[in-house]
Structure 1
Amino acid sequence: MRLRDELPVDHPLNRFYRLGAALCGLLLLVFGCLGFAGSLSAFDTAGRQVAGLSTNGLLSTVSVVVGLLLIAAAAVGGNIASSVNITIGVLFVVSGFVHLFLIDRRANVLDFGMSNVVFSFLMGLLIMTFGMYGRVSGGLPHDNPYWQRRHPDRAARETAAALRPGAPRPSIVARPPEI
């Protein structure tokens, strides 16, 4: 899969990528700002809670930066938003695994607890889903631009067959079987 595949400007998936990036970015931005509002020190590992997650000033900073990055990707839209969603989603899942092993150790500078690990896994999967939707699937419809990029010969044959005069047009609505 090439992540540089281009979608038409008005393709409906662009809205989905933008919406996913904006919602997840806004959630992270709010979490980071709530952490800053609590006047947390940068490397405090005392277990201060914000919205049910342990945090410190460094985690709040990371949350704000990642949230702003997702919101910026939503503003750009298209394949940029999709690629940023995929990348950040993977980083969240990797972060969950890393911090799972760092819980209760001195190297846990972001003050991750088990709730943070679960949140990291879930948020990563959600963000990746927003980014991969319509790009990664075994059953993409043949009018999907990503399917057409991956199967250019077959797409050209189907387009040529559909343009022939008198060629039957594929029906979108399924008809019930005749009895």
Structure 2
Amino acid sequence: MAAHFPINHHLRPLYRLLAGIAGLYMLVFGVVGFIQTSGAKFFTRDEAEWVLGLRTNPAFALLSIVAGVVVLGANLVGRNLAHFINQLASVVLLIVGMASLAVMQTEANVFAFSMSNVIVTFILASIVGTASLYDRVGTPAQASAEEDFRHGPRTA
């Protein structure tokens, strides 16, 4: 069964803006982190740097650049692309946060995550995920049909 998201929600621009800011943060963090960790081993944990309050190595910085470009780009384009990318990004960020939490004190912590990284990852997942709930677009007829489905037909 498909989920029923509101179509043409009146706060859609605000949610796209918030998701875009989250994507911009990921992008800026990745660029600054990649610059500060240049010369370090790609998956190093010993030479990891603190950037914008988070711990990073070149691998995590590069991953953040890619994620930031995808989320920011989708929210700049808008339409239903932003809806689908925000949904996917939210799920991926939640999985990354949980996996990082599970391996934080082990050798498997290849991205040099700290607890602050996990918390920020969950916050970003919440922002992008919430935006995905309200940023779906469609025709006025589709919006009316969705409202009728969610709340029952309107009586005049």
Residue 18 (structure 1) aligns with: 16
Distance 1:31 1:153, change over 3 A: closer
Taking structure 2 as the reference length, the TM-score comes to 0.79
Q: How far is 1:14 from its partner?
A: 4.0
Residue 41 (structure 2) aligns with: 41
Residues 38-93 of structure 1, C-alpha deviations (whole Å, 9 max, x = no match): 02431111242111211000101110001000122112212221221121112111
Q: In structure 2, how many angstroms separate the alpha carbons of the residues matched to 1:153 and 1:75?
A: 31
Matched ranges for 1:85-124 at <5 A: 85-124=86-125
Distance 1:34 1:145, change over 3 A: same
Q: Could you tell me the percent identity over the aligned residues?
A: 32
Q: In structure 1, how many angstroms separate the alpha carbons of the residues matched to 2:25 and 2:12?
A: 20
> Counterpart of 2:77 in structure 1: which amino acid?
V
Q: How far is 1:3 from its partner?
A: 6.4
Q: Greater helix share, 1 or 2?
A: 2
Q: In structure 1, how many angstroms separate the alpha carbons of the residues matched to 2:118 and 2:10?
A: 33
Residue 146 (structure 2) aligns with: 148
Q: In structure 2, how many angstroms separate the alpha carbons of the residues matched to 1:66 and 1:3?
A: 25
Residues 79-109 of structure 1, C-alpha deviations (whole Å, 9 max, x = no match): 2212211211121111111111111211111
Q: In structure 2, how many angstroms separate the alpha carbons of the residues matched to 1:105 and 1:25?
A: 29
Taking structure 1 as the reference length, the TM-score comes to 0.70
Residue 81 (structure 1) aligns with: 82
Distance 1:79 1:17, change over 3 A: farther
Matched ranges for 1:159-174 at <5 A: 161-162=155-156
Bigger radius of gyration among the two? 1
Could you tell me whether the CA contact under 8 Å between 2:4 and 2:150 is conserved in 1? no
Residue 67 (structure 2) aligns with: 66
Matched length: 149
Please list every run of 5 or more consecutive structure 1 residues that lacks an aligned counterpart in the other structure.
136-142, 163-179
Task: Answer 1 or 2: higher relative contact order, Cα 8 Å, separation at least 6.
Answer: 2
Q: In structure 2, how many angstroms separate the alpha carbons of the residues matched to 1:117 and 1:63?
A: 13
Q: In structure 2, how many angstroms separate the alpha carbons of the residues matched to 1:87 and 1:114?
A: 23
Please list every run of 5 or more consecutive structure 2 residues that lacks an aligned counterpart in the other structure.
none
